[in-house]
Structure 1
Amino acid sequence: MMTPAPLVVQGRGDGMRDVVRRRYLLSLLVRKELRVRYRASLLGLGWSYVKPAVQFGVYFVGLGLLLRQNAIGDYAVYLFGGLVVMTAFSEAVGNATRSVVVNGDLVRKIYLPRELFPVSSLFVSAVHLGPQLLVLLVGAIVAGWRPDPVGLLALVLGLLLTAMLALGLGLLLAAVNVFFRDVENLVDLVLMVLVWASPVLYSWQRVADLVGRDSAWLTAYQANPLTVAVELVHRGTWAHASPGNAAATPPGLLGYTVLAFGIAAALLVVGQLTFRRLSGRFAQEL
């Protein structure tokens, strides 16, 4: 006598494990997103070079030349390293927040792991990150940077931390945005502010001079996971470009890195649990 197959509640999947099992669907969604974004575009993926280059030029002229922030050694490499992190994070979180709503037709018509949508947004941002990272590394080499094992590890950890933060927040915000569409507008506002809340356009020493080096505010600022991600990328590409840059690396970066990864892991768990709990109601709400 055959044992009957266990009943499966439709609309409630197995979380991120379903994404791994359905890697082919993930690749299809990523390709669809890229085709839709660059349909009838002459430059295509070339826009992933143009947009950050223009953003870099505006900040470099406005802050580096006009406001004299270029007192930071190799300011162009410093600035672009921070922009790489913030651009990738902002794109991943912003697109992930809208991902379920944008794919509402698929959600209503067929069942597939809902986590595929925010995860595909992360992979699309990774596609755009590649050219930016290449430009950063070439610029760092021109400035005098030579790779070292600790620096390469810091660069990899910085990018990994950015991805974990973006995925955790993306899962959480994508689920909530299905029920409250104001979330995506709020996210856009917060992402605009975040570029000023991390040492992208200025050095951490400016914050230390403002609030005091023994201040709890400075500790909270340096414990911000995005600040840690930016500083790790700076350590990987900018710190050894010139002899004086390494001295500007914030103290205690290793401890803050461990703390940041703990926060990112907790955020990833919370985001996954929230998404999984709410995903069964997505079709009805959409």
Structure 2
Amino acid sequence: MIKYIKNFWRYKGLLKEFVVRDLKVKYRRSFLGYLWSLLNPLLMMIVLTSVFSNMFKFDIPNFPVYLLTGQVIFNFFSESTSMSMNSILNSGSLLKKVYIPKYIFPLSRIMSSFVNLLFSLAAMIVVIIVTGVRVKPVILLFPLPLIYIFLFSVGIGLIVSVLAVYFRDTIHLYSVLLAAWTYLTPIFYPINAVPDYVKSIIYSNPMYYFVQVFRDIVLYHQLPNLQVNLICIAFAVASLIVGLFVFYKNQNKFVLNI
């Protein structure tokens, strides 16, 4: 473990350069540039709020903030894991030329998505101010669910990056899975609006708990109970351990399959 930590520290500069590169590439030739990280969640919130609050009449107090707190968490997970899935395949030519710790590639994608998540929090602050939602000291604990979802995304990102190397169909199947996963996470609807058999599926969904913790802190001004925190920790740690194990077992065979 000490060996891997030293190796990670040795390549921390390269990891930083990859993260900066990903951010520059994403907003290259864009007039508004990084401002899109603020505008995109705001525009999506306006559209979804108009649809779901008026057409479906969900009785959710402070619906714009309710929607945005779920949206920023799930969007980070979706973007980070989708980008990390292609990271090894897109870096094949570099991997064949020089030695670079292979986990750097998916990790840099996830970290660049995390930077976008931090920008999106500015949009959430704007919505909180505009809608008049009260702010209490408990909101200072908002980094806690961000740590949970980051660790969970790293684990899933490592797994899908390996799967994409050996099974290219994973790239297409994962987009379908993410679509289903979105609807099974209470982002734009209350959980009491679904039948009981759907609730049982939602309760087994890790994203439900990450979103719930974030909402409890930011919107409902309450500390998440110990049980929910333990569930989040269990999902995050399990994902990270499995992801590291799968990646470590397969990384030396990547160059033969890309």
The answer, yes or no, to whether TM exceeds 0.5 is yes
Distance 1:282 1:231, change over 3 A: same
CA contact (8 A) 1:15 1:113 kept: no
Amino acid in structure 2 at the alignment position of 1:38: Y
Alignment partners' CA distance in 2, 1:112 and 1:72: 49
Distance 1:256 1:79, change over 3 A: same
TM-score (norm 2): 0.91
CA contact (8 A) 1:177 1:183 kept: yes
CA contact (8 A) 1:162 1:229 kept: yes
> 1:171-182 alignment to 2 at 5 Å?
171-182=158-169
CA drift at 1:223 = 4.4
CA contact (8 A) 1:92 1:122 kept: yes
Amino acid in structure 1 at the alignment position of 2:245: L
Alignment partners' CA distance in 2, 1:96 and 1:158: 21
> 1:229-244 alignment to 2 at 5 Å?
229-240=210-221
CA contact (8 A) 1:225 1:261 kept: no
Does residue 78 of structure 2 align to residue 117 of structure 1? no
Does residue 86 of structure 2 align to residue 98 of structure 1? yes
Alignment partners' CA distance in 2, 1:190 and 1:88: 15
Listed as ranges, the gaps of 5+ residues in structure 1 are: 1-13, 241-245
Seq. identity, %: 27
Alignment partners' CA distance in 2, 1:189 and 1:220: 17
The number of aligned residues is: 255
Alignment correspondent of 1:277: 249
CA drift at 1:51 = 2.3
Does residue 19 of structure 2 align to residue 30 of structure 1? yes
Distance 1:114 1:104, change over 3 A: same
RMSD: 2.1
Per-residue Cα deviation, 1:185-232 (whole angstroms, up to 9, x for no partner) = 11111112222111111112223xx21xxx7x6455234221011111
Alignment partners' CA distance in 2, 1:108 and 1:193: 36
Alignment partners' CA distance in 2, 1:20 and 1:174: 22
Alignment correspondent of 2:175: 188
Alignment partners' CA distance in 2, 1:148 and 1:41: 37
Larger of the two Rg values belongs to structure? 1
Distance 1:267 1:72, change over 3 A: same
Alignment partners' CA distance in 1, 2:72 and 2:81: 14
Alignment partners' CA distance in 2, 1:257 and 1:162: 12
Listed as ranges, the gaps of 5+ residues in structure 2 are: none
